[in-house]
């Protein structure tokens, strides 16, 4: 309740016999006013004591794009089209005390589910521009649903979405040359997050939280980190490095056992592909055509002997995917083989083979629902009950040898990948499909909205290069054996070396040693992984179920916060409404929410 000081004129118009009473009332009102003001001041001092002196420092650390009058209300959250972006003035180099350089880091706040005492969910969406629609319960008036929103609602929390440095609008530099990327490291990212948690004044951005502080008094907020994939890895490392700042974490499909030669991804996918035998036949012939290590050249002879349309040359194979350097056969001899053995160069060949292998493994990694395309009206495209893995295997169903299987695989990739990419706006403008699809070209893209920062981080720290698991004649792989460690290292040198530096690969051992790899199992972090995911072998869940429990699921209660989804894929438990997910995922979601609620109650009792 807000009180005003009584007007002097109030006493003048009163009758004399009531003047004493009026005077007393005036004194009481003034006392109440002063008391409330003092109480509010006390709360503010408590806030400053924990977070830091914001009154004097707010413009140094935090600036707002919009005026305070434009802070979104609950009605705006429900009926607006987007949340409002804010800016945190972030330090560029946290570990060089001699510099005061900074950049603007974008963040969003959604408090539509917040109730007094609820936690703050710190969300990072990883190596992409922040997408606030994913954290909003309503998009243009339409209800939005995913598991993150469900958890936030069930815990009466609010969301703080922070954009990763070097992505979206959180760009420390104008150029993405190698020297400009030196501040994109795991430790710099973690310190960004820690700095925000320490210094951000949430009541500046949430009327609900501001009301909570003024009515209940200041209490240290409870922070829960949420992340998927690489941002999930960051959550695991935040709990390791800053357990005093981050109270709990949710790590979905977050690889933490960093290694350079990550052929385990290929092996894991191979074991789970329903049509793996046919895929292996296609890859074996592809390797023979491209003269990869451990390939059988006689498969090419057999193909030429049996089929007039045998794609026996590199150029012919690429033509089937619209990726040949030319449309003529000048480089092909009368037998159908390559004459000069190279139409685009070895690097181009390797990128083409990388593309083929990546399509196959990525389909299994996400196993999304297939889209049924309507040739007459794109607006009527429907989501099929089949998955994209089902669709690929259907394409291969009628093939019966390496040639027919390879032709079917190339047809699938041409129709479902190449044609879709060709119809995107940037390809229509540039007419350069290789720039969009070839890995070598991606790394040379200096656009501030491209993948170059992420590639830099993998080359220098994270690694996890998806190499072929075919290391000998007896081994099998869904990737060409040319996609080896040398392929990735050469790419890193081409992208980021100035020609004089010696490159020995990413510092993966140092990262694993510092943060414990998959051996660090935090008791206030929930780890969720799908067994069909490519990165599963690098996760805490893999270590628990394969190495510690040795496949004995009956002992899973020893690690209740480590959840394995036998039918799961890459963060598959996050996407979809409760009616759209499997029973396994639905059960896991209930368990996860119950666990967070239990931990939050325990924390409240400990205060």
Share of the chain above pLDDT 90, in %: 61
Closest residue by Cα to residue 324 from 436, 433, 413, 487: 433
pLDDT at 472 over 80: yes
Kindly give the pairing relationship between strand 158-162 and strand 120-123.
parallel
pLDDT band at 438 (very low <50, low <70, confident <90, very high): confident
Kindly give the pairing relationship between strand 562-565 and strand 223-228.
unpaired
Per-domain residue ranges of the chain: 8-51, 56-176, 265-496, 510-606
Cα 317 from Cα 311, distance rounded (Å): 5
pLDDT band at 322 (very low <50, low <70, confident <90, very high): confident
pLDDT band at 12 (very low <50, low <70, confident <90, very high): very low
Cα 33 from Cα 214, distance rounded (Å): 15
Quote the pLDDT of residue 32. Answer: 52
Q: Average pLDDT, stretch 206-229?
A: 88
8 Å CB contact between 248 and 524: yes
Quote the pLDDT of residue 262. Answer: 97
The continuous run of DSSP H or E covering 17 comes out as none
pLDDT at 309 over 70: yes
Task: Choose between 66 and 554: higher pLDDT.
Answer: 554
CATH number of 56-176: 3.40.50.1820
Task: Choose between 346 and 521: higher pLDDT.
Answer: 521
Q: Average pLDDT, stretch 408-421?
A: 90
Q: Average pLDDT, stretch 409-435?
A: 74
What are the tens digits of pLDDT across the range 105-122? 999 999 999 999 999 999
Quote the pLDDT of residue 253. Answer: 97
Quote the pLDDT of residue 277. Answer: 96
pLDDT at 281 over 90: yes
Q: Average pLDDT, stretch 332-360?
A: 71
Quote the pLDDT of residue 135. Answer: 92
Quote the pLDDT of residue 456. Answer: 96
What are the tens digits of pLDDT across the range 19-69? 554 455 554 555 555 454 554 454 444 433 333 332 233 233 333 333 223
pLDDT at 81 over 90: no
pLDDT at 434 over 90: no
What are the tens digits of pLDDT across the range 122-135? 999 999 999 999 89
pLDDT at 73 over 90: no
DSSP state of 539: S
pLDDT at 279 over 90: yes
With a CB cutoff of 8 Å and minimum separation 6, the contacts of 456 are: 178, 181, 184, 495, 496
pLDDT at 478 over 90: yes
Q: Out of 309-313, 379-383, 521-525, give the one with best mean pLDDT.
A: 521-525
What are the tens digits of pLDDT across the range 134-178? 898 766 556 778 999 999 999 999 999 999 999 999 999 988 999
On average, the pLDDT of the chain sits at 82
Flag the least confident range among 252-256, 286-290, 437-441, 511-515.
437-441
Closest residue by Cα to residue 364 from 296, 438, 274, 431: 274
CA distances from 279 to 77, 300, 414 (A): 48, 17, 16
Q: What are the respective helix, strand and coil percentages of the chain, to the nearest 5?
A: 50, 10, 40
8 Å CB contact between 251 and 232: yes
pLDDT at 14 over 60: no
8 Å CB contact between 481 and 293: yes
| Burial class of residue 413, CB neighbours in 10 A (0-12, 13-18, 19+) | buried
Place of tokens 């009473």: 21
CA distances from 552 to 271, 544, 555, 581 (A): 19, 10, 6, 26
pLDDT at 384 over 70: no
Flag the least confident range among 39-43, 193-197, 222-226, 502-506.
39-43
Cα 507 from Cα 454, distance rounded (Å): 15
What are the tens digits of pLDDT across the range 498-520? 766 678 899 999 999 999 999 99
Model confidence, pTM: 0.82
Q: What is the DSSP string of 253-317?
A: S---S--SB-THHHHHHHHH-TTHHHHHHHHHHHHHHTT-TT--THHHHHHHHH-TT---SHHHH
Q: Average pLDDT, stretch 547-561?
A: 87
Quote the pLDDT of residue 13. Answer: 37
pLDDT at 199 over 90: yes
Cα 569 from Cα 582, distance rounded (Å): 12
Quote the pLDDT of residue 498. Answer: 72
**Burial annotation 139-157 (CB, 10 A radius, 16+ → b, else e):** eeeeeeeebbbbbbbbbeb
Torsion sign (Cα): 456, 460, 464, 466: positive
pLDDT at 532 over 90: yes
Quote the pLDDT of residue 40. Answer: 43
* Dihedral of the alpha carbons of 423, 429, 433, 439, in degrees to the nearest 10: -110
With a CB cutoff of 8 Å and minimum separation 6, the contacts of 379 are: none
């Amino acid at each position: 309740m807000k009180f005003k000081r009584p007007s002097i004129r109030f006493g003048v118009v009163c009758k004399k016999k009531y003047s004493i009473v009026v005077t007393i009332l005036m004194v009481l009102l003034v006392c109440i006013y002063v008391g409330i003001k003092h109480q509010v001041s006390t709360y503010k001092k408590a806030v400053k004591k924990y977070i830091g002196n914001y009154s004097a420092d707010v413009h140094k650390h935090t600036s707002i794009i919009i005026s305070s009058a434009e802070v979104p209300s609950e009605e705006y959250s429900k009926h607006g089209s987007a949340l409002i972006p804010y800016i945190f003035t972030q330090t560029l180099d946290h570990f060089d005390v001699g510099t005061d350089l900074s950049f603007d880091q974008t963040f969003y706040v959604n408090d539509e589910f917040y109730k007094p005492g609820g936690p703050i969910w710190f969300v990072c969406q990883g190596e992409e521009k922040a997408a606030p629609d994913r954290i909003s319960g309503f998009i243009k008036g339409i209800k939005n649903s995913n598991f993150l929103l469900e958890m936030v609602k069930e815990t009466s929390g609010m969301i703080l979405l922070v954009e990763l440095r070097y992505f979206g609008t959180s760009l420390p530099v104008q150029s993405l040359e190698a020297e400009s990327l030196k501040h994109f490291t795991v430790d710099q990212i973690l310190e960004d997050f820690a700095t925000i948690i320490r210094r951000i004044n949430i009541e500046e951005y949430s009327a609900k939280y501001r009301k909570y502080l003024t009515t209940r008094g200041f209490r240290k907020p409870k922070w829960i980190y949420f992340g998927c994939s690489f941002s999930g890895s960051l959550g695991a490392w935040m709990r390791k490095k800053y357990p005093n700042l981050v109270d709990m974490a949710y790590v979905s499909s977050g690889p933490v056992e960093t290694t350079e030669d990550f052929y385990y991804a290929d092996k894991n996918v191979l074991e789970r592909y329903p049509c793996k035998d046919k895929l292996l036949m296609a890859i074996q012939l592809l390797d023979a055509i491209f003269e990869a290590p451990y390939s059988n050249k006689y498969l090419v002879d057999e193909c030429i002997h049996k089929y007039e349309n045998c794609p026996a040359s590199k150029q012919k194979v690429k033509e089937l995917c619209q990726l040949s350097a030319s449309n003529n056969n000048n480089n092909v001899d009368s037998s159908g083989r390559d004459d000069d053995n190279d139409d685009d160069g070895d690097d181009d060949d390797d990128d083409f083979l990388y593309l083929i292998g990546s399509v196959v493994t990525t389909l299994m990694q996400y196993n999304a629902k297939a889209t049924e395309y309507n040739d007459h009206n794109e607006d009527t495209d429907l989501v099929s009950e089949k998955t994209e893995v089902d669709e690929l295997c259907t394409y291969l169903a009628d093939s019966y040898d390496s040639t027919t299987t390879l032709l079917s695989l190339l047809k699938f990739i041409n129709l479902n990948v190449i044609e879709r990419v060709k119809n995107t706006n940037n390809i229509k403008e540039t007419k350069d499909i290789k720039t969009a699809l070839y890995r070598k070209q991606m790394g040379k893209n200096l656009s501030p909205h491209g993948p170059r920062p992420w590639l830099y981080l993998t080359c220098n720290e994270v690694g996890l290069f998806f190499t072929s698991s075919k290391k000998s004649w007896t081994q099998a792989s869904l990737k060409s054996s040319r996609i080896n460690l040398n392929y990735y290292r050469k790419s890193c040198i081409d992208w980021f070396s100035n020609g004089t530096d010696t490159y020995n690969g990413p510092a993966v051992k140092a990262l694993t040693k510092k943060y414990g790899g998959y051996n660090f199992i935090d008791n206030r972090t929930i780890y969720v992984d799908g067994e069909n995911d490519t990165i599963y072998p690098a996760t805490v869940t893999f270590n628990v179920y394969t190495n510690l429990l040795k496949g004995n699921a009956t002992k899973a209660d020893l690690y209740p916060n480590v959840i394995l989804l036998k039918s799961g894929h890459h963060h598959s438990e996050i996407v979809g409404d409760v009616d759209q997910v499997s029973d396994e995922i639905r059960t896991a979601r209930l368990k996860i929410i119950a666990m967070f609620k239990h931990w939050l109650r325990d924390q409240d009792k400990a205060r």
